[in-house]
Structure 1
Amino acid sequence: MAIVILVLFLWYSGLFFQSFFLHRYAAHQVFTMSKATERIAFILTWICQGSSYLSAYGYGIMHRIHHAYTDTEKDPHSPKYDKNMFAMMWKTKNIYQDINKQRIQVDAKFLKNVPQWKSFDRIAGSRISRIGWMLVYTLLFVWLVTAWWQWLLLPVVFLMAPIHGVIVNWFGHIYGYQNFKTSDTSKNLFKFDFLMMGEGYHNNHHYRSTRANFGGVRWHEIDITYVIIRMLNKVRIIKLA
């Protein structure tokens, strides 16, 4: 079952950097870090997300727009205005690329202090990089696969970051429960978020988007990413706002 261990490692490591670096740091800035630590986070995000690498600049701005216009026609990803999850994923991809490549004008209020490393993103987000990672994953599967069904996990590895996004931004606006009444359809997907490391507490997050801890409203809402953030803050790698 080595291939399952590999997929789980890629799932949770990629998810962590999406939640920790792209979401809570780039988009919401719930903590600060030095420039050197920020550069290390860029590199680790690329290593862990691989073929589905997302730029902190593109993600951070797009997510801020999502919060400003949740469940409206201006929302980059909303089940309310997309026919299905695949249509939403495609729309999100196009908007992300337009923002990241600066092909569209973005309101200045969404740009404040968003981390950007243009030279690195040109490499990490390039077609060559993505194809290279896909080749690495394929070779690892050739080496580790022991049953035919394990090959079904390869597309998941290729598209890990978009899959993480659709779980929260599609299902997190349709299924689950609410601790708070908000102006949008955000919901908490899980009572204990074992799958999304705290990102599944979507209603909590939309109610208080600048709060570092997405869980903690009920005793069973343990935000695993926040636990790690607290540890990193304690050893002074980052500083909570």
Structure 2
Amino acid sequence: MIILAFFLAHWFLSLFFQTFFLHRYASHKMFKMNQFWEKVFYFMTFFSQGSSFLNPRAYAIMHRMHHAYSDTEKDPHSPHFIKDVWGLMIKTKNIYLDYLRYKIEPEEQFIDRYPTWSFVDRFGDLWITRACFIAFYITFYVYFAEYWWMYLLLPVHFLMGPIHGAIVNWCGHKYGYSNYDNHDHSKNTLPLDFLMLGELFQNNHHKKPNDVNFAKRWFELDPSYPIIKAMHALRIIRLRKV
């Protein structure tokens, strides 16, 4: 039970900071926060993603490209030009590294208005940093795993951030239903999206990309939205008016 609790905690903490900080804040600026809270959530994103920490600048650039060129050949991670999920992850990784390491410059429309923290960006991308997180995950399993099959969960810990992205970009553009005609293949995969904390409402999100609530119909539920509303009520963040 300890291992399963650890796995679920890592899954949902990593996922929450990906959807809250990297996606809704860094990429879309759905809300504002002061420098103190930005640094807090920046660090928590790094800590929760661990060995798979995703740089907010590179993430934001790619995500803005994804919206601008959804399901076209210029989309950095459309499943309709790649034969399998692994190929999608590799293509995404290569483009991500190009932006992370400033090998290419993004188009002007995708530049600026994303958070940066040079120390965390550099430290989080070091192989020794990623290796230390991996060593921690393995050590935790050595001490607490009760059955051999639990070790099969370790690769998910190692690649948590990219796995979340692959699930959203693959399933959210191939499987499910549509509320809107967005002239792409975006789908709502799960009407009650507890698995991905609202990220699988891709059809809704592509229709209204600046709306912080990804659920639109009465039977849909975006679990991240009430948390974000509570942060707004507590004045941790300030929501944009859409």
Matching of residue 234 in structure 1 with residue 230 in structure 2: no
Report deviation, 1:235. Answer: 0.3
| Counterpart check, 1:74 vs 2:84 | no
Q: CA RMSD in A?
A: 0.8
SS in structure 2 of the partner of residue 204 of structure 1: helix
Shift of 1:120: 1.6
User: Hey, what does 1:54 align to over in structure 2?
Assistant: 54
Q: Normalising by the residue count of structure 1, what TM-score does the alignment of the two structures yield?
A: 0.98
Counterpart code for 2:235: R
Partner letter of residue 178 of structure 2? Q
> Which structure 1 residue ranges, 4+ long, deviate > 2 Å from structure 2?
none
Correspondence list, 1:210-225, <5 A: 210-215=210-215, 217-225=216-224
Alignment of structure 1 residues 1-241 onto 2, 5 Å: 1-215=1-215, 217-241=216-240
Q: What CA distance in whole angstroms lies between the structure 2 residues aligned with 1:55 and 1:112?
A: 14
Deviations 1:64-90 (A, max 9, x none): 011111111111101111121101100
What 5-or-longer segments of structure 2 have no aligned partner?
A: none
Deviation at 1:30, TM superposition (A): 0.4
Distance 1:160 1:120 in 2: 18
Instruction: Mark the runs of 5 or more structure 1 residues left unpaired by the alignment.
Output: none
1:120, 1:182 → 2: CA distance?
37
1:206 & 1:126 partners in 2: Cα distance?
A: 34
Partner Cα separation in structure 1 for residue 229 and residue 146 of structure 2: 39
Provide the C-alpha distance between the structure 2 equivalents of 1:210 and 1:233, rounded to a whole number of angstroms: 16
Q: What code does the residue aligned with 1:47 have?
A: F
- For the residues of structure 1 that align with 2:22 and 2:54, how far apart are their CA atoms? 8
Aligned equivalents of 1:198 and 1:63: distance in 2? 16
In 1, are the aligned partners of 2:171 and 2:200 still within 8 Å (CA)? no
Shift of the alpha carbon at 1:221? 1.1
State TM-score, norm by structure 2. 0.97
Shift of 1:112: 2.8
